[in-house]
Structure 1
Amino acid sequence: MDTMTLEPRSETAAPTPLAREATARPAAQIEGRARTLALVSLLLASAMELIDVTIVNVALPTIERSLGASGAMLQWVVAAYPLAFGISLITGARLGDRFGRRRLFVIGLIGFTLASAACGLAPSALGLVAFRAVQGIAAAAMVPQVLTSIQVMYAAHERGKAMAAFSALAGIAAVVGPILGAVLTETAGWRWVFLVNVPVGVLALVAALRFVPESRAAHADRVDFRGVAVLTAGLLALLYPLVMGHELGWPAWSYAVLLAGALILAIFVVAEARHERSGDEPLLATSLYRDRAFAGGSLVGGLVFIAGTGYFLAGTLYFQAGLGWSVLKAGLVNIPFALVCTVTAGAGAAMLMPRIGRRVLTLGAIVMAAGALVMWVTVRAADAQTSFWAFVPAISLVGAGFGFVVSSTAPLALVAVPDRQAGSASGQFNTTGQLANAVGAAVMGTLFFEVAASHAGPVPVEMFRPAHLAVLLVMAALLAVVALASRVIPAGAHEHADLAAGH
C-alpha cells in the first residue's frame, strides 16, 4: 500500500517545530497569483507521488509477462519504493531544513521525474526495481518540503484552504490511482503508468522554479548518514532473504542473513538510544516509544499497512492471474474500497474519534477483519465466471475499516508528543508506515507465492485461490492484533487531541 499505501497519508498529522519556525521567518514573501501557482506546483508533486504508490499495483501481472519478472521481482517492484522512501524520509526533511526547502523540493522533483521516465523505459525487471528505489529516494527529498513550504507561503489565518486541498489529495489519489493505472495499462501499456509522471513533473518543475519561495530553518538538526547506512543494511539484510528465499529454495545462508539483519537493527536501536541520551539529534528517537500513545499508534499503523499491502498484492494477482480478469476490470473492482475509505476516513477523524477515542481503531480493525473473512468466503466459492459484484461487499468492508483506522491513528499517536519532539515523532510515524508497506510486500508476498507454488496445476484459479485464502487469513489475524494493540493507547488520548485542535 504508501506503497500500495492507499492511505490518506499521515503527513498532515503534525507540523514540525521547524515548520512553525519557518512560518514565522519566511525567506521570501509571495501572494496573489504567484502564490497560487506555487501551491499548484507543490500539489502537483504531491499528487504525482501519492498516485504513484497505488498506480503500479494493477499493472503487476502485465509487467510480469512483459519483462519475464519472477514473483520475487514483483515483490521488489512493490517494496523498493516505500523501502527507499521510508529510509530516506527523515534525512530528506533535515536536508531541506539545512540547505533550503525549495532547493531540495526541486532536486527531488527532478529526480522523481527522471526516475519515472527510467521506470517506464526499464529494459528488465531488475532495472525497474532499481529505478523504483531511486523514485523513493527522490520522493523523500521532495515530499517533506511540501507541507513546510505551504506553511512558509501562507499566514496562519490563510492556511486552512491550502491545507484542505493538500489533505483532499490523499482521498482523490486513492480513487484515481487504481483507475488510472488500469486505463493506462489497458490502452497504452504498463510503461505509461510511469511515463505519465514526466509531463506532470515538468509542469510542476517550471512552476516551482518560478514561484516557490526558498526557506531554511534557523537551526537544522544534523544529518545522520551513518545511521541511515546502518538502517539500510539491516533492513535489506532482513528483507532480501524474505523476498528471494522461496525462489532460491531457502538455502542455509538465507537464515544467516535474516539473523544478521535482526542483529544489525538491534545494534542500530541501541546506538540511536545512546546518541539521544548524549544530547545528539538521533535518526530514531527511542524515547518517543515510552509514550503509550505513540508506541500504540505506531504499532497499529505498522500492522495495518502490512496487512493492507498483502491484501492488495494478493488480490491483484488473484483477480488477473487466477480469475483471468482484464487489467481494467481488476482496477475497477477496488473503486468501492477507495470511495468507502474516503467517507469513513472523514467520519472517523471528525466524528467518531472525538467521541470514542481509541475505540475507533478497534472498530476499524474489526470491520476490516470482517471484510477479510467475507472475502475469504467469497474467494473460496469463486471461479472465472463469478460476477464482479460478488466481491464488492467484502471490498467495501475492508475499505470502511481501513478508513476508520488510518484517519485516526496519527492524531491519537502524536497527541502527547512534546512540541520539541513533534518533528521527530511525525517523521518516525510516517517512516514506520512506509517501511511497513515494504515489509508487507516481502512477508505477505512470500506467503502468497509459497502457497501458490505448492498448489501448482493446470487451472490457474486452483493455484492462486489457496494463496489468496492464506493471505486473507493472516490479514485477519494481524487485524485481531491491531484491535488489541489499540488498547495500548490511553483511553483518554482523544480528549487531549480535542484540546489541541481547539487550541
Structure 2
Amino acid sequence: MSEAGQAERPVQTGRPVSPDAPAPDPRRWLALTVLLVATFMDLLDVNIVTVAIPSIQQDLGASAVALQAMTAGYTLSFAVILITGGRLGDIFGRKRMFLTGVAGFIAASALCTVAQNSEMLVGSRILQGFAAAIMVPQVLAIIHVTFAPQEIGRVVSLYAGMIGLAIVAGPILGGVLVDWSPLGLGWRSIFVVNLPVGLAALAGAWAWMRESKSPHAMRLDPVGMVLAIIGLLLLMLPLMLGRELDWPVWSVVSLVAAVPVIVLFVCYERHKTRKDGSPLVVLSLFKVRAFGAGIGTQLLFSCVPAGFFLSWTLYLQGGLGWSALHTGLTAIPFSLGVPIVGTIAVRTLFPRYGRYCLMAGSLMMTAGVASYAWVAQHLGTGITSWHAAPSMLLLGSGMGLLMAPLTGLILREVKPQEAGAASGIINATGQLGAALGVAVIGGIFFSALAGNVGAQADRVVPTVQAVSVQQADGIRACATDSLGQDDLTAVPASCTALAATSDRGSQDAIGGALDEIRARTFVATYSEALYWAAGGLAVVTCLLFLLPHRPHRPAEA
C-alpha cells in the first residue's frame, strides 16, 4: 500500500496557471473524471494485489523471491522511471504520454491475467510499473495547467478523495474477487478489472483531454537513468535472492559494486548539471538541510508499510488460514485511518503543531506495530479481526499524521522553481523505500520462518496423542522441510513418507499437529518481523528532529 504516498504530491494552490496554459477548457471536468479513474486504477492495482498473494503462490507455486519481486518489482520500476515519465510529458505532450501510459498499463494487466508461471507474472508486474510511471506523473501536471487557481482546491479534494477510496476499496475488492472467483478466474480477476476501467479511461482521455507541453522542459537524462537502474538492481537483487541462494559470492560482490555505481551516478549528475542543467536528480536540493533529512525520513518510513503488508498477508492467509475476503475486511480500520486522519492533519494539526504532528504519527505507528506484535504473540491462533482492529487503526491513523504533511514540510525550504523536481525525488524515494521494505522485511520474515519451525515443532509434537515415535519424528521433519523450503506450497518428500506411515486413526492427529506447528511458526515469525519494523519507525522518529519545527517559507528576494 506504499503508493498511498501519491496523495502527498503537492499542487501549489497559490500559484497562477503557467502563461502558456490555454483558456479554460469547457470539457475539463470530464477530463478530470478520466484522470481520477486512472489514479484509482493505479492505486487499486497496488492495494488489491496484497490480499491475493497467497492465492497466487498456491496456484503458480511462486517462491519467496517471486512473491517479493511481485511487489518490489512494480514499485522499483515505477520509482526509476517516475521522474523521466514526468519529463516525457513536458517534452512530448502530457496527453500523449498519459494515453501511452494507460495503454501500456492495460497491456501489462492483460499479461498478468494470462501469466502461466511466476516469472511471467513478475515480468508483467514490472511492465505495469513502467507504464504507471509514465501515466501517473501526467495527472497532477494536467490538472495544474487545465484548471484555474480558484478551482484547484476543489480538484485536489476530489483527487485526495479518490486516493482514499482506492485505499479503502483495494483490500476489500481484492478479497471479494479472489473468494468469489468470477468465471473461475481466481486471483487473475484482480487484473481483469483493469481492462474495462483502462479502456474507458483511454477513450475518455482521447475525447476530452487537451494536449499541453512545457515551453521550458528539461532534457532527458538516459545515461543517468541507466546508472540509477543498474545501481538499484545491484543493491536490490542480493537482498531478494541472497537468502534463498545462501548468500553466494556474487550477491556480496553485487552489494559492494552498488557503491561505486551510485557514486558514478552522483558524479555524472553533477556533470549533467554543468553541461545542460537537465540532470535526472537535482543534487543541489540536498544542500537544503530539511530536504536531505526529509528524503532520509521518506526512504525509511516507506519501508515499513510495504514490508508490513507483505508479511501480514502471508501470516493471516498462509499461517492462520484466513480467506482473502476476511483479510481484506481486517484492513478496514487501517484504510479508513489513513485518509481521514491525513485530512485532519493537513488542515488542522500540522499548521498548528508543525513537526510535532509528524512525530505523533510516527509514535502512533510504532505503537500500532508493537501492539499488533504483542497481540499476535499472546493470542496466537485465537486472534480475530476485532483483536487486530485497534492496532490497525493506530497504524493507519499514525500513517495519516505522518505521511500527509511530510512532503509539504520538506518542500517549505525548497525554492518555488525547484518544487517540481523536489516533488519528483520525494515520490521516487517513497517508491524505492517501499521496494526496499519488501526486500528487507520480506527477507527477515522468510528467514525467521525457517528458523522458528524447529522450536515450534518441539513444543507441539510432545502433546500429540496416538502417534508412534517414528511418526513424531516424521511430523518434525515434515514441518521443518515444509516451512524451510522456498515454495511453501510444495509437498516435500518427508511429508509424503509421513503420509505413507499413517493409518486412518492417526491421520487426524498428524494433520492437526502439522497445522498447529505451521500456525505457531507464522505467529512467532510475524511478531519477530513486526518488532524489526517498530525499530525502523523509532529511527524515523529520530530523523524527524532534523526537520524544521514550524512550517514556514523563507524570505524570497
Question: TM class, shorter-chain normalised?
Answer: over 0.9
Q: Which moved more, 1:208-217 or 1:8-17?
A: 8-17
CA contact (8 A) 2:10 2:408 kept: no
SS at 1:248 equivalent: coil
1:128 alignment counterpart: 121
* TM-score for both structures, normalised by structure 1: 0.94
The reply on whether 1:160 has 2:153 as its aligned counterpart is yes
Distance 1:192 1:338, change over 3 A: same
Distance 1:420 1:152, change over 3 A: closer
1:68 alignment counterpart: 61
CA distance in 2, matches of 1:461, 1:399: 26
SS at 2:211 equivalent: coil
What amino acid sits opposite 2:442 in the alignment? Answer: G
1:397 alignment counterpart: 394
The reply on whether 1:51 has 2:47 as its aligned counterpart is no
Q: CA deviation at 1:14?
A: 5.1
CA distance in 2, matches of 1:216, 1:455: 56
Q: CA deviation at 1:292?
A: 1.8
1:5-20 alignment, distance < 5 Å: 5-7=3-5, 9-12=7-10
2:75 alignment counterpart: 82
Distance 1:302 1:14, change over 3 A: farther
SS at 1:191 equivalent: helix
Q: CA deviation at 1:381?
A: 1.6
Residues 333-367 of structure 1: CA deviation (Å, up to 9, x unaligned): 11000112222111211111111111111111111
* TM-score for both structures, normalised by structure 2: 0.85
What amino acid sits opposite 2:161 in the alignment? Answer: A
What amino acid sits opposite 2:74 in the alignment? Answer: Y
What amino acid sits opposite 2:155 in the alignment? Answer: A
The reply on whether 1:463 has 2:521 as its aligned counterpart is yes
Q: Which moved more, 1:148-157 or 1:45-54?
A: 148-157
The reply on whether 1:473 has 2:470 as its aligned counterpart is no
CA contact (8 A) 2:334 2:395 kept: yes
What amino acid sits opposite 1:12 in the alignment? Answer: P
SS at 1:216 equivalent: coil
The reply on whether 1:439 has 2:419 as its aligned counterpart is no
1:40-439 alignment, distance < 5 Å: 40-188=33-181, 189-278=186-275, 280-439=277-436
CA contact (8 A) 1:16 1:423 kept: no
CA distance in 2, matches of 1:40, 1:240: 39
CA distance in 1, matches of 2:283, 2:21: 32
CA contact (8 A) 2:376 2:383 kept: no
CA distance in 2, matches of 1:24, 1:200: 34
Q: CA deviation at 1:159?
A: 2.6
Q: CA deviation at 1:279?
A: 5.2
Residues 285-342 of structure 1: CA deviation (Å, up to 9, x unaligned): 1211111221122222221110111111111110111111111111111100011222
CA contact (8 A) 1:81 1:135 kept: yes
Question: Structure 1 residue runs of 4+, over 4 Å off?
Answer: 13-17
CA distance in 2, matches of 1:257, 1:285: 26
CA distance in 1, matches of 2:179, 2:37: 24
CA contact (8 A) 1:6 1:53 kept: no
The reply on whether 1:24 has 2:12 as its aligned counterpart is no
CA distance in 2, matches of 1:150, 1:409: 22
2:546 alignment counterpart: 488
CA distance in 2, matches of 1:7, 1:141: 17
Distance 1:93 1:441, change over 3 A: same
2:449 alignment counterpart: 452
CA contact (8 A) 2:368 2:391 kept: yes
Distance 1:173 1:93, change over 3 A: same
Residues 365-423 of structure 1: CA deviation (Å, up to 9, x unaligned): 11110111111111112333322211111111111111100011000011111122111
CA contact (8 A) 1:14 1:422 kept: no
Q: Which runs of 5+ in 2 are unaligned?
A: 454-478, 480-513
CA contact (8 A) 1:13 1:410 kept: no
CA distance in 2, matches of 1:451, 1:361: 31
CA distance in 2, matches of 1:143, 1:15: 20
What amino acid sits opposite 1:138 in the alignment? Answer: A
Q: CA deviation at 1:27?
A: 5.0
Q: Which moved more, 1:276-285 or 1:410-419?
A: 276-285
What amino acid sits opposite 2:228 in the alignment? Answer: L
CA contact (8 A) 2:380 2:520 kept: no
CA distance in 2, matches of 1:207, 1:289: 40
2:474 alignment counterpart: none
Larger Rg: 2
Q: CA deviation at 1:37?
A: 1.8
SS at 1:349 equivalent: helix
SS at 1:30 equivalent: coil
CA contact (8 A) 1:59 1:190 kept: yes
CA distance in 1, matches of 2:24, 2:277: 33
Identity of aligned residues (%): 39
Residues 80-106 of structure 1: CA deviation (Å, up to 9, x unaligned): 111011100110111110111000000
CA distance in 1, matches of 2:304, 2:165: 22
Q: Which runs of 5+ in 1 are unaligned?
A: none
CA contact (8 A) 2:68 2:240 kept: yes
CA contact (8 A) 1:30 1:153 kept: yes
Distance 1:187 1:334, change over 3 A: same
CA contact (8 A) 2:50 2:310 kept: yes
CA contact (8 A) 1:292 1:490 kept: no
Residues 108-153 of structure 1: CA deviation (Å, up to 9, x unaligned): 0100111111111111111111111111111111111111212222
Cα RMSD for the two superposed structures: 1.9
Residues 20-50 of structure 1: CA deviation (Å, up to 9, x unaligned): 66x432357521xx32221111111111011
Equivalenced residue count is 491
